[in-house]
Chain A
Amino acid sequence: MKPRPWRGRRRVFRFPTVILFLAPFLILVIAFFFVPALLNIVLAFTNMDSSLEWNFVGLQNYRLLFSDPQARQIAINTLVYVLCTLAINVGFGLILGLLTTYFVPENAGLLFRAIWMLPRMTPSVVYALLWLWVLDPTEYGLLNMVAKALTGAKPTFWTMQHPMGVVILVNGMVGASFGMIIFSAAIKSISKDYIMAAQVDGASHLGIVRSIILPLLRWPLMFVTIWQTLSLLASYEYILLVTNGGPFFKSEVWSLYAYHEAFAHRFYGYGAAIAMILVIVALIVTMIMLRVFGFKRLMELMG
């Protein structure tokens, strides 16, 4: 008789064995996801600083946060940053996904997708260095060089004069490839029959894109939007490296503010309270994602 899965569980599926197999996973996940999550809640009620002593102060951190003159501006910055970068990530990702699959043969599409993957694969410090050269305030920087060649303009101090624009561009150029990969895979999985039938009926390229491809991209579009919202809310690495939130909090976003308060000023308690808001928002978005897609579809979209 052919043995069926799970049949012999009396003999080999003993509970202690399972625990042994799962132990390292559970230890790491508990130590570096669950404990920090709980600890963050508790830390937010203390005014822990560089002395690392526990001083419970109740809701003082949250009261401070709501009267913090910077907090309002930073919240607005975060909103602008997430919405604008999201528009680039989804919109431009879609354009790239379409161009590299539907409009161009497979090999050329692969080459351009590889080019757009480069920033994603590059370590963040090196990617930031590339941007520091592009944005260099002297005429040695690429943008100033181009501006001078085209209009004869004087060098601009980009990170000082347009900090939010810079931050959005820097993140958008990496984020667009996420949408590109998801969308191009989805477009490639669309049956050629639909497209050929439309072509026989004399549909134009734009017509095919609008009435065949886009409707079939509904789930991937929603997935990319929600997933990128989540990662953008929590992202500050490139901002830290390129503008460091400056000048005068003009490009500071919520997660970077938490980082600065905790690790630049060593106000761990206050930083934890700021991060707490982010944790709650991230939890809500994660729950929405699960509700919208369901567990099964989420697995398909992510795999």
Chain B
Amino acid sequence: MKGERKRRVYRAPSSRQRLLGMLGRALPYVFLILFSLPIISMYLWLFFSSFSRKVMFGFIPQEWTLHNWRFLWSPIQMGGAAHLSIWKATGNTLLFAGVVMLIVVFTATLSGFALSRFRFRGREELMRLSILLHAFPGVTLLIATFYVLYYLKLLNSIWGVAIARAALEIPWSTWIIKGFFDNIPWDIEWSAYVDGCNRFQAWYKVILPLLRPGIAAIAIFSFLAGWNDFIYPYTFIFTKENQTLSMLIKALIGEFRFTDYGLLASVSLFYILPVLVFFFFTQKGLMRVTVGGMKGGR
């Protein structure tokens, strides 16, 4: 027994063993890079074909140019039809996303506060409901939503469609912001009542200022949800003057016989700029929230 142990001395790994070890450690990277290659090449293509005249094999840009970005100062020319100017479409999209954001922040901070701090009959049920509604795919109700918007005379209005779109974000945002309310100590709120506030004053003057990170989170996500949305504007908005950027790009893609990938890539890059900016700054902390916030096949 003792002799056996003595014989097992440490021996430096042979060069073949070391090579195998290195290969073993490199293998996960090889797989990850291989798997991610399609995504990487797609986004590289988007960038390169926007800024160059020609892209070889999707990766090698030739002749750098800003020619594709002329849509910023002149009308978009593709196919026969006249297209909405980019700035009007951007304005529409900003309005749409802004309204979605305002409604979501206003509604969710009120209801999240109620669910976190009031004890009333039906509170548990309401919380359950907000989770179930988030799980339930709202798009299945699109046809009936069309009739509701028609009845309310909100069809083809950016405002009206934004209200309907905001409703889809409400259950999730309420539930996220409720978590933030739960973390605020009761003593802080109580001190506001001691100083003579009523519930609305306490909510507005004392608690909301402490809630900035939570409000920022739901504001950013609901804004991006509105900014990125395609189905709601595409289905409920009919006139060209009210087109959002996503509808404009869909119209440009539709002119398939005249596909000008350079122009399409540039307009798309312009469109996803806010998303990319947000993505690079905050992707670490908010990644988990993102998954919960999006749904419907995503």
Residues of B within 8 A of A175 (CB): 297-298
Q: Decide if the interface of chain A is mainly helix, strand, loop or mixed.
A: helix
Residues of B within 8 A of A110 (CB): 284
- Contact-size category for B: 35 or more
Are the C-beta atoms of B110 and A286 separated by less than 8 Å? Answer: no
Q: Does B35 contact A (CB under 8 A)?
A: yes
Q: Does B52 contact A (CB under 8 A)?
A: no
Q: Which of A21-29, A58-66, A211-219 lies at the interface with chain B?
A: A21-29
Known: A39-B148, A271-B143. A125 touches B249 (CB 8 A): yes
Are the C-beta atoms of A268 and B146 separated by less than 8 Å? Answer: yes
Are the C-beta atoms of A128 and B253 separated by less than 8 Å? Answer: yes
Other A-B contacts than A28-B107, A130-B45, A181-B291, 15 sampled, CB-CB below 8 A, are A4-B186, A22-B114, A25-B114, A36-B144, A126-B46, A129-B249, A142-B42, A142-B45, A174-B298, A234-B297, A235-B297, A259-B235, A262-B146, A279-B141, A302-B134
Residues of B within 8 A of A (CB): 28-29, 31-32, 35-36, 38-43, 45-46, 57-58, 103, 106-108, 110-111, 113-114, 118-120, 126, 128-129, 131-148, 150, 163-164, 166-168, 170-171, 174, 179, 186-187, 190, 193, 198-200, 203, 224, 227-231, 235, 246, 249-250, 253, 261, 264-265, 268, 271-272, 275, 279, 283-284, 287-288, 290-292, 294-298
Most buried by B among A8, A31, A92: A31
Q: Produce 1/0 per residue, A176-187, CB < 8 A to B.
A: 011001100100
Q: Which residue on chain A has the smallest CB distance to residue B106?
A: A24
Are the C-beta atoms of B111 and A22 separated by less than 8 Å? Answer: yes
Residues of A within 8 A of B139 (CB): 234-236, 255
Known: A25-B174, A118-B279, A128-B253. A272 touches B144 (CB 8 A): yes
Residues of A within 8 A of B190 (CB): 3
Are the C-beta atoms of B107 and A35 separated by less than 8 Å? Answer: no
Q: Produce 1/0 per residue, A73-110, CB < 8 A to B.
A: 00000000000000000001001100110011000101
Q: Does A298 contact B (CB under 8 A)?
A: yes
Tell me the count of chain A residues lying within 8 A, CB to CB, of chain B. Answer: 107
In Å, the complex CA distance between A99 and B275 comes to 26
